[in-house]
Structure formats: C-alpha cells, structure tokens
C-alpha cells in the first residue's frame, strides 16, 4: 500500500502541471482578457467610444480594445498586468510561484490570491461538510429501510420522491426557494444572501448559531434534496446484496433477531462501499454543488470566487482556484482508495499493479 500511495503522490505533480498548462493555453487565446477590459474601461471613462469605421492597424496595436489609446499607454497597461512578457516566461514565473504557494495578486481585487483563498475556503468547507453530513444521515437509514421493505408500498413511495428530487437541478431548486421563501415574490422567511447577518459580531453565542443556520437553511436544502438519491440507492442495494448471502441465512438459523442480524452482521459489510465512497461524494459536492449554490445565494466561497474571476478574466485567481480544486480532488481520490483497503483488507492495490 505504501508503494501505491507514493506512486499516486508523485503522479499528482505531472497531473497538476498539465492541467495548468492546458488551461493557461486556453486562457491565452480567449478574447476579452484583463488588458482589453482595462482599455475599455479607460475609453468609457474618457468618452472615447470606438466606432466601427476606424481603421487603425492591428500591427501597431496588439489589442482591438486599444484603438483610441496611444501605444505607450497600451504598453503601460500590459506591463501592469504582466503581459509585457512572453507567454512562456509568464507560465514559468507562475510555476515558480506555485512551488512556494505564491499564486500572485488578483488583478481586480488588489489582494494576494492566497489571502482570497484563505478568506473564501471556510464558506465552501462549511457548505460541503454540512451538506455531506445531512446527505449521509438521511441516505443510510433510508436506504436500509428501503432494503428491508423492498417492493412494498414504502419502497415504491420513497422511490418516487427520490426520483423527483434527483431530477430537479440544485440551481433550479435554489431559485425556486429564493422566489418563495427569501422575499422573491411571496414570503421572506429566510435571508436572501450571505452566510451571516451584518450584526453577527454583536450577537450572543446562541444568537450566532441561530443566525448561521438560518442563513444556511435554503442553500443546504437545495444541495441536499437532490444529493441523497444516489447514496440511498447505493445503500439499499448494498444491503440487499448482503442479505442474500449465506452468512445471513446462517445467522438467522441460529435464532438471532432481525435487528441483530442486520446491524451485527450485515451492516459492516454493506457499508464498506458507502463509507469508502465518502471522498468521491465530497468531490462532487465541492466542485459541482457548491459552485451553483454559492453563485445563486451570493456566498463568498471558492465557487463564487472562481466564477467572478472567470467573468473578469482575473487570471491569477482563475489559476489559483483551479490549482486548489485540482489538488483537493486528487488528494480526496487517493484517500478514497486508501479507505477501501483500510475498510476491506482483502483489497490490495500493490498486488493488482495499480498505478
């Protein structure tokens, strides 16, 4: 197992490199970069709208948005954002900074990217951990109940509810919740945005806890309602598979109660794949669920930070969030593999030549 872990850790390095390289190349050829945006803002401030009939030579000016500005000013703007250097040199400087966790400074927020990530990370972790906890607390008991009542009315009724919940996208449900319960058109029972109220610091300990969960109610509901369907069915069929095995029949023949058979013998074996899949579940929740929820509810997490960076072409923030997301994803997948072997020692990645 140690050899396998070492191989996976070493594989993280080239994986991060190629992901950053591919995205760096894509970003370079994408229109509307920070230089163009800065030039456009200057022109708008000066009232220098560019007409369609202008015929300035593109050989004299590198960016289309530079029409109307002197070449000297364009070069100053390029130097301000680091675009006075060749792309290869910029990529090399970025990699050197990443070795010391220096992701540069945001173009538009005037803060180090590391500081922005540290400020936003607690929100994303809070959403991810609470939603994962709720999903597991709902899915595991429900899946066990469905396994014991397979084919009965309870199983069919809950399957319908799960299908409806799974079919509704989290972002669509979030919008509906805002419209109905956050002052959109009907009731204003919950806050529209943010993780805490403006007077959070002045509240008592109980008041802070209450305020926090009051703000978290709608985002968590939107994330959880469609997230527990897959885990519920995974739990159900894991238990059904175990219930049909010989050791269960032997335990029942000894006169053990159904609960003793279920929780004393079946539970540990059936939960192997469910528990080992926890890191994979976290990847989906952090990288998919969080993004839409943070944007819709205006929660200052990594998802919203990355979304804002993409719309503004804030390259240091884009690559910084990409680096963190990729690194967390790779580490969680490694943890998932390790958990499989810790829970079930029969699994041996080294003997199977895993890479």
Q: Give the pLDDT confidence score for residue 326 in this predicted structure.
A: 83
Q: Give the pLDDT confidence score for residue 50 in this predicted structure.
A: 43
Which of these, 122, 131, 152, 154, lies nearest to 219 by C-alpha position? 131
Identify whether residues 337 and 211 lie together within a single domain: yes
Residue 327 neighbours by CB under 8 Å, 6+ apart: 12, 16
Using CB atoms within 10 Å of the CB of residue 304, give its burial: 0 to 12 exposed, 13 to 18 middle, 19+ buried: buried
Identify whether residues 74 and 139 lie together within a single domain: no
* Rounded Cα–Cα distance for residues 295 and 289 (Å): 10
Between helix 315-343 and helix 113-148 the angle, nearest 10°, is 40
Q: Are 119 and 304 in contact (CB under 8 A)?
A: no
Identify whether residues 90 and 147 lie together within a single domain: no
Q: Give the pLDDT confidence score for residue 54 in this predicted structure.
A: 41
Residue 298 neighbours by CB under 8 Å, 6+ apart: 192, 193, 194, 304
Identify whether residues 85 and 177 lie together within a single domain: no
Identify whether residues 41 and 125 lie together within a single domain: no
Structural domain ending residue among the three candidates 45, 74, 100: 100
Residue 25 neighbours by CB under 8 Å, 6+ apart: none
Identify whether residues 52 and 144 lie together within a single domain: no
Give, rounded to a whole angstrom, the gap between the first and last alpha carbons of the chain.
Answer: 11
Identify whether residues 227 and 93 lie together within a single domain: no
Q: Give the pLDDT confidence score for residue 82 in this predicted structure.
A: 67
Q: Give the pLDDT confidence score for residue 59 in this predicted structure.
A: 39
Q: Give the pLDDT confidence score for residue 283 in this predicted structure.
A: 67
Q: Give the pLDDT confidence score for residue 46 in this predicted structure.
A: 61
Q: Are 158 and 146 in contact (CB under 8 A)?
A: yes
Which segments of the chain does DSSP mark as H helices, in order? 2-29, 34-46, 71-80, 87-99, 113-148, 153-167, 170-181, 205-225, 228-243, 246-253, 258-261, 267-270, 272-276, 278-284, 290-296, 302-312, 315-343
Is residue 351 assigned to a domain?
no
Identify whether residues 91 and 216 lie together within a single domain: no
Identify whether residues 121 and 96 lie together within a single domain: no
Identify whether residues 121 and 58 lie together within a single domain: no
Q: Give the pLDDT confidence score for residue 65 in this predicted structure.
A: 42
Using CB atoms within 10 Å of the CB of residue 42, give its burial: 0 to 12 exposed, 13 to 18 middle, 19+ buried: middle
Q: What is the pLDDT of residues 55-113, one digit of tens each?
A: 333 333 444 444 455 676 666 666 666 676 777 888 888 888 888 888 888 887 888 88
Is residue 178 assigned to a domain?
yes
Q: Which CATH number goes with the domain that contains 154? A: 1.10.3720.10
Query: Distance of alpha carbon 34 from its chain centroid, rounded?
Result: 25
Residue 332 CB: number of other CB atoms within 10 A?
17
Q: Give the pLDDT confidence score for residue 41 in this predicted structure.
A: 64
Identify whether residues 153 and 268 lie together within a single domain: yes
Token pair 């309870």 is found at 154
Stretches in the chain below the pLDDT threshold 50: 48-67, 353-355
Structural domain ending residue among the three candidates 72, 100, 128: 100
Four-residue CA torsion sign, 67, 68, 72, 74: negative
**Which SS3 state, helix, strand or coil, does residue 77 take?**
helix
Identify whether residues 120 and 41 lie together within a single domain: no
Between helix 315-343 and helix 2-29 the angle, nearest 10°, is 160
User: How many domains does the chain fold into?
Assistant: 2
Residue 43 neighbours by CB under 8 Å, 6+ apart: 49, 50, 65, 68, 69
Range of the domain at 321: 114-343
């Amino acid at each position: 197992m140690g050899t396998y872990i070492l191989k996976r850790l070493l594989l993280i390095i080239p994986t991060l490199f190629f992901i950053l390289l591919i995205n760096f190349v894509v970003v370079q050829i994408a229109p509307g970069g920070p230089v163009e945006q800065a030039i456009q803002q200057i022109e708008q401030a000066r009232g220098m709208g560019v007409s369609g009939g202008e015929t300035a030579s593109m050989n004299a000016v590198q960016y289309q948005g530079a029409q109307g500005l002197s070449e000297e000013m364009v070069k100053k703007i390029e130097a301000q954002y680091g675009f006075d250097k060749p792309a290869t040199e910029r990529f090399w400087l970025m990699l050197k900074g990443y070795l010391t966790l220096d992701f540069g400074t945001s173009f538009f927020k005037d803060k180090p990217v590391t500081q922005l990530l540290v400020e936003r990370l607690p929100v994303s972790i809070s959403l991810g951990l609470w939603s994962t906890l709720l999903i597991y607390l709902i899915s595991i008991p429900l899946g066990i109940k469905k396994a014991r009542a397979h084919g009965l009315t309870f199983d069919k009724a809950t399957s319908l509810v799960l299908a409806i919940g799974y079919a509704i996208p989290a972002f669509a449900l979030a919008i509906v919740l805002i419209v109905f319960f956050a002052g959109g058109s009907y009731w204003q029972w919950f806050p529209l945005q943010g993780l805490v109220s403006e007077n959070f610091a002045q509240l008592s300990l109980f008041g802070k806890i209450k305020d926090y969960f009051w703000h978290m109610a709608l985002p968590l509901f939107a994330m959880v309602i469609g997230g527990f369907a897959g885990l519920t069915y995974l739990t159900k069929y894991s238990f059904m598979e175990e219930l049909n095995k010989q050791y269960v029949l032997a335990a029942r023949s000894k006169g053990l109660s159904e609960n003793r058979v279920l929780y004393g013998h079946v539970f540990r074996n059936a939960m192997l794949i469910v528990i080992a899949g926890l890191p994979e579940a976290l990847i989906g929740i952090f990288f998919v669920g969080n993004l839409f929820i943070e944007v819709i509810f205006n929660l200052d997490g990594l998802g919203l930070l990355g979304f804002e960076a993409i719309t503004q072409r804030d390259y240091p923030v884009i690559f910084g969030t990409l680096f963190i997301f990729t690194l967390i994803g790779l580490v969680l997948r490694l943890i998932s593999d390790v958990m499989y072997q810790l829970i079930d020692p029969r699994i041996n990645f080294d003997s199977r030549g895993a890479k």
